[in-house]
Structure formats: C-alpha cells, structure tokens
Amino acid sequence: MFKDVSFYVPKITNRTEYIGLEAELNQKVREKLHEILGSSISGIANSNYKLALIITAGGRSGRVWSQQGGASLGLTRISINYSLSNSEGKEIKAETINRKQDFLSIVGENTSTAFQEAIADIAEQIVIEIAETIQQEENV
C-alpha cells in the first residue's frame, strides 16, 4: 500500500543546545519510512507527502549516589513536533511527541545513547502515526 508513496523531508530544525540530534532524527525517520512503510524519500516536486520535523526541546538531569562503589543515573528529555502535509500543501496531521529516557553511566550509557534511543522510539511512533493517517485519508 505504501510502496508507491514518497515523502519529502526538509531540513530538520533543532532548537536545543544538543548538536547532532537533527541528523540522528533525520536518519531514523528515513530508515523507519523505508523499513515500516517501504516508502521512498524524494524531492518536494515528486513527493506525495511532506514531513516537517522540529526538535523543540531537549535536556538532561542526573543523579549520583555512592555506597561502596556508586552509580550515576541520568535522564534525558526530548520534544519533537511533526507536521504531515499532502501534495497540495494541506496539513493533515500535526503532533508533538515527548520522551524521557534514562541512562546509567556505570554500564557505559550516556546522554548521547539516551537521546539516540529516544529518537529511534519517536521516529517509529511518527511513521506508525503517519501510516494510520494516510490510511484514514484514503478510506474517506
């Protein structure tokens, strides 16, 4: 159903201080579009849909405790807005997705790995929601 559907994904806006999150999101969304939907990415002129993405917020907090060793537990937070428009430019879905992801430095995790896990999860959710929206549009 989605193999003939193509998406245009413009440059992602990153409004956080964490450099590189936009590249990670771009890669994961493209992977999930292909993996889940079998869809392709194309230029704006040849696309059926435009998917605009904005990383609106990101942050981290941490806790350290110690009793004969210790551990460092952290938490990342990220918010991503996305908007799906059809080939006529009409917005058919707009959502904000928020995620929190823990990390434990004692096992080699850090802020970067936590952001990567959260972004992968969000990318999958976005693509699943897009699939549901397109199916509803076509069934109307």
Amino acid at position 64, single letter = V
Confidence at residue 116, expressed as pLDDT on a 0 to 100 scale: 96
d(CA 8, CA 73): 38
94-116, pLDDT tens digit by residue? 999 999 999 888 788 888 999 99
**pTM, to two decimals:** 0.89
pLDDT band for position 21 (cuts 50, 70, 90): very high
125-139, pLDDT tens digit by residue? 999 999 999 999 877
Tell me the sheet residues that pair with 82: 53, 95
Vertex 24, ends 18 and 30: CA angle to 5°? 150
Arithmetic mean of pLDDT over the chain: 90
Tell me the sheet residues that pair with 8: 50
In the chain the first and final C-alpha atoms are separated, in Å, by 16
Nearest to residue 105, comparing CAs of 140, 80, 70?
70
CA 80 to chain CA centroid, nearest Å: 7
Query: Which of the listed ranges 31-35, 65-69, 109-113 does the model predict with the highest average pLDDT?
Result: 31-35
CA 63 to chain CA centroid, nearest Å: 26
- Alpha-carbon dihedral angle through residues 81, 130, 113, 65, given to the nearest 10 degrees: 70
d(CA 96, CA 133): 15
pLDDT band for position 73 (cuts 50, 70, 90): confident
Domains and CATH numbers, the chain: 6-139 (3.40.50.10610)
Confidence at residue 4, expressed as pLDDT on a 0 to 100 scale: 87
Nearest to residue 77, comparing CAs of 94, 63, 95, 56?
56
